[in-house]
Amino acid sequence: MSSERRGCGFPIARIVVVFSLAVGTVLDAAIGKYQGKQTGENSLFRTLHGLLQNGDVVLADRYFSGWFDIALLQARGVDMVVRKHQLRSSDFRTGRRLGWGDHLVSWPKPPRPDWLSKEQYDSLPDELTLRELPPGRPPERVPRNWSSSAPCSMPNLTRLTRSPCSTGGAGRPNSTCGA
């Protein structure tokens, strides 16, 4: 039990920011309630999808590595590099091998979540083909100081050609940005 009176204290909010790594500026932000349905960082980030253009690259932490987060961005022509969620396993002996510690994997489409309309769900592919790299292992012809993480929605990646955008939640450093 708290000794604070009702209505006193500090307000709590969720904040998601999209910024350009090329120029180091905030492009837009979404602020939402701390608790309640559809107030998580993923939901807030989906409100910022309109900001992203075909050919953009999103770098994000593992909180944004869900199937639908990646698929909705791919549908807009936006690629994503993100650390894989810790509960998803990796087996580099499977999939289409591209080189040591580098392969293509397929993630099947999961059941439709409540927040996604049936029309949106039906428009998404039945599976995602993703390039999976172990942390710290950049693909060939990418600068060695580029910190890559699995999975990557760019199966034919040989170099980054556009200014990447990055997302990170409030108070959390971006764990995958290697600029």
Domain that holds residue 17: 13-169
pLDDT at 71: 92
Domain membership of residue 8 (yes or no) is no
SS (H, E, C) the chain: CCCCCCCCCCCCEEEEEEEECCCCEEEEEEEEECCCCCCCHHHHHHCCHHHCCCCCEEEECHHHCCHHHHHHHHHCCCEEEECCCCCCCCCCCCCEEEECCEEEEEEECCCCCCCCCHHHHHHCCCEEEEEECCCCCCCCCCCCCCCCCCCECCCCCCCCCCCEEEEEECCCCCCCCCC
Domain membership of residue 162 (yes or no) is yes
pLDDT at 157: 52
Domain membership of residue 4 (yes or no) is no
Q: How many domains does the chain have?
A: 1
Ordered per-residue pLDDT tens for the chain, 179 residues: 567 777 777 778 888 899 888 888 898 999 988 877 766 888 899 999 999 988 888 888 888 888 998 999 999 988 888 877 777 777 777 788 877 777 788 889 999 999 999 999 999 999 988 888 776 655 555 444 343 445 555 555 544 333 344 444 333 333 232 22
Cis amide linkage into residue 151, ω under 30° from 0:
yes
pLDDT at 164: 40
Domain membership of residue 2 (yes or no) is no
Domain membership of residue 121 (yes or no) is yes
Instruction: List phi, psi (to 5°) of 141.
Output: 65, 20
